[in-house]
Structure 1
Amino acid sequence: MRLVQLTVPTGKRRTILEALEDRGVDYVVTDEESDRKYAAVVYFPLPDPAVEPVLDELQDAGVGEDAYTVVVDAETVVSRRFEALREEYEEGDVESDRISRQELETEAESLTPTFAVFATMTIISSLVATSGLLLDSPAVVVGSMVIAPLIGPALGASVGSVIDEEELFVESVTYQIVGIVFAIGAAAVFAWMVKVTNIVPPGLDISEVGEISERLAPDLLSLVVALGAGVAGIVSIATGISVALVGVMIAAALIPPAAAAGVAIAWGQPTAAIGSTALVLVNVLSVNLAGLLTLWYLGYRPESLFELGQTEKRVRKRIVGLVVIVLVFAVFLGAITYSSYQAGNFEEDVNEEVTAALEAEAYSQYQLLDIQVVMDENYPIQSPQRVVITIGGPPGETAPGLGSEIRERVEQHAADDDVEIEIRYVTILEE
Structure 2
Amino acid sequence: MLHLRLITPSDTTDAVVRLIEKTVGTTHLVVVPGAARNPAGDVVMCDVAREAGDELISSLQELGLDRTGSIAVENIDLSLSKRADKAEKEAPGEGADAVLWDHLTDATHEESTLSVTYLAFITLATMIAACGVVLDNAILIVGAMAVGPEFGPLAAFSTSIVQRHPRLALRSLIALLVGFAVAMVVTVGFSFFMDAVHLFSDEQLDAPRPNTNFIYRPDWFSFVVAVLAGCAGTLSLTSAKSGALVGVAISVTTVPAAANAAVAFSYSEYKQAWGSTEQLLLNLLGIVLAGTLTLLVQKWLWRRP
TM-score class, shorter-chain normalisation, is 0.7 to 0.9
Cα deviation, 1:43-84, whole Å, max 9, x if unaligned, reads 111111211101222333442423111111112334444333
Superposition map of 1:39-54 within 5 A: 39-54=41-56
TM-fit CA distance, 1:112: 3.7
Given candidates 86, 89, 92, the residue that maps to 1:87 is 89
Residue in 2 aligned with 1:29? 31
Is residue 225–residue 253 contact of structure 1 (8 Å, CA) maintained in 2? no
> Which amino acid in structure 2 is aligned with residue 262 of structure 1?
A
Q: Which has the higher helix share?
A: 2
> Which amino acid in structure 2 is aligned with residue 52 of structure 1?
D
With over 3 angstroms needed to count, the CA separation of the structure-2 counterparts of 1:114 and 1:276, relative to structure 1, is: closer
Gaps (5+ residues) in structure 1? Answer: 301-431
With over 3 angstroms needed to count, the CA separation of the structure-2 counterparts of 1:79 and 1:274, relative to structure 1, is: same
Gaps (5+ residues) in structure 2? Answer: 301-305
Is residue 129–residue 144 contact of structure 2 (8 Å, CA) maintained in 1? yes
Cα separation, 1, equivalents of 2:122 and 2:58? 38
Residue in 1 aligned with 2:121? 121
Residue in 1 aligned with 2:144? 144
Cα separation, 1, equivalents of 2:289 and 2:194? 37
Cα deviation, 1:95-131, whole Å, max 9, x if unaligned, reads xx23311211222133345521111211111111111
Superposition map of 1:150-189 within 5 A: 150-189=150-189
Cα deviation, 1:273-322, whole Å, max 9, x if unaligned, reads 2111011011111111111111111118xxxxxxxxxxxxxxxxxxxxxx
Q: Identity over the aligned pairs, expressed in percent?
A: 23
Q: TM-score under structure 1 normalisation?
A: 0.64
Cα deviation, 1:192-246, whole Å, max 9, x if unaligned, reads 3333443245644524222442222221100112111211111011011116414
With over 3 angstroms needed to count, the CA separation of the structure-2 counterparts of 1:7 and 1:173, relative to structure 1, is: same
Residue in 2 aligned with 1:73? 75
Cα separation, 1, equivalents of 2:152 and 2:49? 25
Residue in 1 aligned with 2:229? 229
Cα separation, 1, equivalents of 2:61 and 2:266? 56
Question: For the aligned residues, what is the CA RMSD?
Answer: 2.4
Secondary structure of the residue aligned to 2:32 is strand
Cα separation, 2, equivalents of 1:256 and 1:272? 13
Is residue 98–residue 240 contact of structure 1 (8 Å, CA) maintained in 2? no
Cα separation, 1, equivalents of 2:49 and 2:230? 26
Secondary structure of the residue aligned to 1:65 is helix
Is residue 206–residue 213 contact of structure 1 (8 Å, CA) maintained in 2? no
Is residue 154–residue 288 contact of structure 2 (8 Å, CA) maintained in 1? yes
Cα separation, 1, equivalents of 2:160 and 2:50? 21
Secondary structure of the residue aligned to 1:210 is coil
Aligned length: 298
Cα separation, 1, equivalents of 2:182 and 2:275? 18
Superposition map of 1:198-213 within 5 A: 198-200=198-200, 203-204=203-204, 206-213=206-213
